[in-house]
Amino acid sequence: MSVSDDPSRVAGGPALTDLPDDVSVATEEGRRLAEQLADNRRHARKLLEVRNLSTHFYTRDGVVHAVDDVSFELDYGETLGIVGESGCGKSVTALSLTRLIASPPGKIVSGQIIFDGIDVLKLSNEEMRLLRGKKIGFIFQDPMTSLNPTLTIGYQIAESAKTHLGLSRKAADDRAVELLSKVGIPRSRERMGDYPHQFSGGMRQRVMIAIALACDPMLLLADEPTTALDVTIQAQILELIRSLSDEFGTAVILITHDLGIAAGMCHRINVMYAGRIVETGLVDDIYEAPRMPYAWGLLDSLPRLDEVKGARLRTIEGMPPDLIDPTSECRFAVRCKYVHDRCRSEEPELTPRDGEGHMARCFGTEPEGWIQ
């Protein structure tokens, strides 16, 4: 069954006719996508709407609320950053979007994920499979372990093209060669028969990108794509993701713990802490005027070149809270320098701040708050 016939599609809204100007129409894919984009915008549809998503893990020690009531949206072709320290639920959020949560112990307990008008959580497993790889590409953190060591990289790239696009072996191989040169691997046809161990880390991540883009997906989920790489390689890989997503008009969700990377790549940023989104907004708003002490902390802990020599790297004191029994206080309260009594008795909601779509979860920075 084709995904687009699915009855769970959400009906479109009012029409918008502007063609977005950030899509290159030089290539065939670009043109096709531009039309599609225009069509979607006519219906004022988002590529992705996540509403009140909660994912829990049922462990021996108790139920871990890894993702807790998370909502966000993503436009066609947009790049969104999800930023937070390890264990904040950002990876689990990404895995939940494609229902790749290992079950048991994990389970998406509530919420709604609307992807391109399709209610993802209502799909059968087979329909979900058709979405993965074809409409949603995934890049994982560690390119050393994410590629199958016993299969040639040519096979691993051509595999999804064969599965989803119904290409013949020959056509799929040609597609793989094309993708390999696109991700910047020289002598791509010769290297098709090589195995992952014959590639360096950066080259492997390029192969991962080629795999993720093999079927020209609408959404690319990049889960810490550069964390395992050398700093010099990081920049190249990020640039590659940006240029290819521009070229193909692919929306990207970039998951990272590095606010600097997110700032350079993304249109908007979600800051996550302890399973919740604590601040969201345009990159500039968050970077210039973060409205949540945790985000300040993240910004402060970035090393800066203009820093006085010998100054200590600033860190956020303490550890994230136990996600097994979230208490009814602000989850950052125990580590917050500006904590008030109110923060310990109730949890703040995400409320609007200055800037388009800028929201933060903090009593202190609300208009009548004590941090200004």
Partner 1 sequence: MPNRTEALEKPAVAVRRSASLWGDAWRRLIRNRLAVVGGVLVVTFFSLAILGPFIAPYEYQAQHLQEILANNNRPIAPFGSEFFLGTDNLGRDLLSRLLDGAQISMTVALVVQAVVLLIGLPIGAAAAWFGGRVDTYLMRFTDVIYAFPDLLFIILLSVAFRETFFGKAMNGLLLVFVAIGLTAWVGMARLVRGQLLSLKETEFVEAARAIGVSDFRIVTRHLLPNAMGPMIVAVTLGIPGAILAEATLAFIGIGAQAPRASWGSLVANGQPFLRSSPHLVIFPALAVATALISFTFLGDGLRDALDPKLKGKQ
Partner 2 sequence: MLGYIIRRVLWIIPVLFVVSLITFSLMHAAPGGPWDREKKLSASTIAHLNEKYGLSDPIHIQYLSWVGNMVRGDLGPSYKYIDRSVNDIVADGIGTTAHLGIMAFLLSVILGIPLGVIAALRHNKIPDYLATFVSVIGIATPSFVAAILLLVFFSVTLRWFPTHGWDGWAEPDTMVLPTIALSLFPIAQIARFTRASMLEVTRKDYVRTAQSKGLRERSIVVVHMIRNALIPVVTILGPLLAFLITGSFIIETIFSVPGIGRYYVTSIGQRDYGVIMAMTMLYAAAIAVLNLVVDVLYAYIDPRIRYS
Residue 220 to residue 209: CA distance in whole angstroms: 9
Q: Which is nearer to partner 1, 151 or 324 (CB)?
A: 324
Distance in angstroms between the alpha carbons of the first and the last residue of the chain: 54
- The span of 139-147, 253-261, 271-279, 334-342 binding partner 2 (CB under 8 A) equals 139-147
| Residue 151: CB minimum distance to partner 1, A | 19
Residue 143 to residue 329: CA distance in whole angstroms: 39
| Residue 257: CB minimum distance to partner 2, A | 18
Residue 148 contacts which entry, partner 1, partner 2, none (Cβ below 5-8 A, type-dependent): partner 2
Closest of 78, 82, 83, 84 to residue 97, by C-alpha: 82
DSSP class per residue in 181-242: HHTT-SSHHHHTT--GGGS-HHHHHHHHHHHHTTT--SEEEEESTTTTS-HHHHHHHHHHHH
Which listed residue (102, 231, 305, 308) binds partner 1 by CB under 8 A?
102
**Residue 236, interface with partner 2 (CB under 8 A)?**
no
Q: Which is nearer to partner 2, 122 or 337 (CB)?
A: 122
Residue 129 contacts which entry, partner 2, partner 1, none (Cβ below 5-8 A, type-dependent): partner 2
Residue 207 to residue 187: CA distance in whole angstroms: 13
Site string for partner 2, 242-281 (x = CB under 8 A): ----------------------------------------
Angle at 43 between CA 37 and CA 47, to 5 degrees: 55
Question: What length does the chain have?
Answer: 372
Q: Which is nearer to partner 1, 114 or 343 (CB)?
A: 343
**Residue 124, interface with partner 2 (CB under 8 A)?**
no
Q: Which is nearer to partner 2, 149 or 166 (CB)?
A: 149
| Residue 63: partners with Cβ closer than 8 Å, 6 or more residues away | 56, 57, 324
**Residue 222, interface with partner 1 (CB under 8 A)?**
no
| Cα 199 from chain centroid (whole Å) | 26
Dig out the tokens for 123 from the structure.
């799909």
Instruction: Look at residue 58 and give its three-state secondary structure.
Output: strand
Q: Which is nearer to partner 1, 105 or 193 (CB)?
A: 105
Q: Residues interacting with partner 2, by CB under 8 A?
A: 98, 100, 129-134, 137-138, 140, 142, 145-151, 159-160, 163-164, 195, 197, 208, 211, 214
Contact residues for partner 1 (CB under 8 A)?
A: 57, 61, 64, 66, 85-87, 89, 91-92, 95, 101-106, 275, 319-324
